[in-house]
Amino acid sequence: MTGRLNSAQPYALGLFRIIVGLLFACHGAASLFGVLGGAMGGGTVPAGTWPGWYAAVIQLVGGTLVTLGLGTRAAAFIASGSMAYAYFKVHQPEALWPLQNGGEPSAMFCWAMLLLVFTGSGALGLDRLFTARGESAERPAASASAGEREPAAA
């Protein structure tokens, strides 16, 4: 059973990444465009306001990149930091525990994104597609140059 679970790990991680990224992007879209209920029960965050508008841009762009699995580690790192900032500057001064201060989403997104910094995109991500293409294009060039060297040495 452990072998089957281990072989499915990249796919489970890929699905985790897609869901977390999509939910994160939805928060940004709600704040920037007023969709899905809008920011704080309706409306949008005024453009350029600190820190709400910048957080919403990070959520939308970072969440989209994480969902696609494109630049996952960098996008997740920035997203995790923005959620840590949100928790400690906005929520934590209200009360100690996330359940008391309304900071549960910030804390969960912070730790979920931090996990993706260390694990990468898993399966089903564009990172893997581009890495695989780069490696396959690199192999023939390396074998051709190695083949050219062998006759000269003989």
For 129-141, the DSSP string reads HHHHHHHHHHHHH
Closest CA to 13 of 124, 128, 130, 110: 124
Q: What are phi and psi of 103, to 5 degrees?
A: -95, 15
> Do 70 and 125 touch, CB atoms closer than 8 A?
yes
DSSP-derived secondary structure for 12-43? HHHHHHHHHHHHHHHHHHHHHH--TT-GGGSS
Alpha carbons 142 and 92: distance in angstroms, whole number: 54
pLDDT truncated to tens, each residue of the chain (154 aa)? 888 899 999 999 999 999 999 999 999 999 888 888 777 777 888 788 888 899 999 999 999 999 999 999 999 999 999 999 999 999 999 998 999 999 999 999 999 999 999 999 988 898 887 777 777 777 665 555 555 554 555 4
